[in-house]
């Protein structure tokens, strides 16, 4: 494995079409869970200029006004006027209702092992989790910085510091690694849409982003852009659905580890929290983070392999990339002893059915599902470090 390399990760803003579809899908899921914590929901969305299509498969005792939720998500993303906006876009929905295929999470609270074992995986899923010591939140540095840039782009637009920016933007950070550790920022790329470009002098957006976005995004970071860092700031017209379509789950790298580590090939957004793709990915991140926090390795990738019809993973595999203090077999044994990776047990540990009281799911659909210091996420807790040691 190379020890000297450059790695880049990309994040996108709230108004990027793919990210909007993630937000729409999670808002639909949240709409069901808010009134029925045991609802089973899978939601996807696709959009283009003037039209949004939402597909929902559900088992629930409540009815949800999907169209209203779609329009709310579009408005929150910043599209309130223009050719694509929350009021006038066409919303098409497909709803397929089915019988519940598994026990609801509320019925598992305090349940016996026999009852927990009844909640099994509906299909084969391989879930990955990752943690490393690049940042205090134990995330890879490239995606951590890219997410901060994307968040700052949204902030200066929403706070009208740079009111001419459109909701669609991208940020990419390339980090130079030496001896497998972050060394310096090699390059920063920001792509932002702008309204009425002719109203500003040439180069005004570049100056504004250099002044109002970059310093705030890197504030407090140990590794910041230096005199040799390549900084590229470009405009893309208005961006958004005017120029490219969106689809749920297409920004999996931004949702997870910026492609620095493996991830499940399924979208995290648009699924109720008891779905094994989602809860398994959260559990894998939770356990990997404990390995690093306990000092057992500098970086850890955990693989949980679930198969249809069984309540827990058939395989727990650990990869530490040569950074471990113990053998990977020993770390895997400790993880199995400390953490119960059965789906029902994870539902009880994380209480994901209670998250919707805080409207957390729609907020996860932008700026990533992991390393979030702005949200009290149960899979980001470090409550079993001593037990793992």
**pLDDT tens-digit series, residues 33-62:** 988 988 999 999 999 988 999 999 999 999
What pLDDT is attached to residue 1?
62
Q: Tell which residue, 237, 87, 72, has the closest CA to residue 167.
A: 237
| pLDDT mean over 193-208 | 82
Q: For the residues of 241-285, what is the DSSP string, one character each?
A: GGT--EETTTTHHHHTTTTSS---SS-STTB-TTSHHHHHHHHHH
User: Dmax over Cα atoms in the chain, in whole Å?
Assistant: 69
* CA 298, chain centre distance (Å): 22
**Fold classified for 5-12+141-240:** GMP Synthetase; Chain A, domain 3 (3.30.300)
Which residues fall within 8 angstroms of residue 250, CB to CB, at 6 or more apart?
18, 21
**pLDDT tens-digit series, residues 78-136:** 998 878 888 989 999 999 998 887 767 776 777 788 888 888 888 899 999 999 999 99
Residues of the chain with CATH 3.30.300.10: 5-12+141-240, 17-100, 125-134+261-388
| pLDDT mean over 153-158 | 97
What pLDDT is attached to residue 24?
96
**17-100: CATH number:** 3.30.300.10
Instruction: Give the whole-number percent of the chain exceeding pLDDT 70.
Output: 97
Is domain 125-134+261-388 given the CATH code 3.40.50.10800 in the classification? no
What pLDDT is attached to residue 357?
55
What pLDDT is attached to residue 197?
66
Asked whether 285 and 277 are in contact (CB, 8 A), the reply is no
Confidence label for 346 from pLDDT (cuts 50, 70 and 90): very high
pLDDT reading at 209 higher than 60? yes
| pLDDT mean over 299-317 | 96
Alpha carbons 155 and 152: distance in angstroms, whole number: 5
**pLDDT tens-digit series, residues 235-253:** 867 788 888 899 999 999 9
């Amino acid at each position: 494995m190379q020890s000297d390399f450059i790695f880049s990760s990309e994040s996108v803003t709230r108004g990027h079409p793919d990210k909007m579809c993630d937000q729409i899908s999670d808002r639909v899921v949240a709409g069901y869970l808010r009134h029925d914590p045991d609802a089973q929901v899978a939601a996807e969305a696709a959009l283009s200029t003037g039209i949004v299509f939402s597909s929902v498969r559900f088992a629930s005792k409540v009815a949800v006004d999907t169209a209203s939720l779609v329009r709310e998500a579009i408005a929150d993303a910043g599209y309130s006027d223009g050719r694509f906006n929350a009021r006038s876009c066409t919303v098409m929905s497909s709803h397929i209702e089915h019988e519940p295929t598994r026990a609801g999470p509320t019925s598992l609270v305090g349940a016996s092992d026999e009852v927990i074992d009844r909640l099994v995986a509906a299909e084969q899923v391989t879930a990955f989790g990752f943690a490393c010591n690049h940042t205090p939140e134990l995330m890879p540095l490239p995606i951590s910085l890219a997410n901060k840039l994307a968040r700052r782009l949204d902030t200066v637009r929403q706070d009208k510091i740079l009111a001419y920016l459109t909701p669609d933007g991208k940020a990419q950070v390339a980090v130079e690694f030496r001896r497998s550790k972050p060394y310096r920022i090699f390059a920063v790329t920001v792509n932002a849409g702008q309204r009425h470009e002719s109203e500003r002098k040439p180069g005004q957006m570049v100056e504004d982003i250099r002044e109002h976005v970059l310093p705030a995004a890197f504030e407090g970071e140990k590794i910041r852009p230096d005199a040799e860092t390549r900084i590229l700031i470009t405009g893309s017209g208005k961006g958004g659905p005017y120029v490219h379509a969106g689809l749920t789950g297409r920004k999996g790298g931004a949702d997870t580890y910026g492609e620095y580590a493996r991830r499940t090939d399924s979208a995290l957004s648009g699924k109720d929290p008891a779905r094994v793709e989602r809860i398994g990915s959260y559990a894998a991140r939770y356990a990997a983070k404990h390995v690093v926090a306990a000092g057992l390795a500098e970086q850890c990738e955990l693989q949980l392999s679930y198969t249809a019809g069984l309540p827990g993973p058939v395989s727990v595999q650990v990869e530490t990339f040569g950074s471990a203090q113990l053998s990977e077999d020993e770390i895997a044994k400790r993880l199995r002893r400390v953490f119960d990776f059965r789906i029902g047990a994870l539902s009880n540990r994380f209480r994901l059915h209670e998250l919707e009281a805080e409207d957390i799911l729609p907020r996860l659909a932008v700026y990533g599902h992991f390393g979030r210091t702005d949200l009290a996420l149960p899979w980001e807790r470090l409550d079993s470090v001593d037990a793992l040691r």
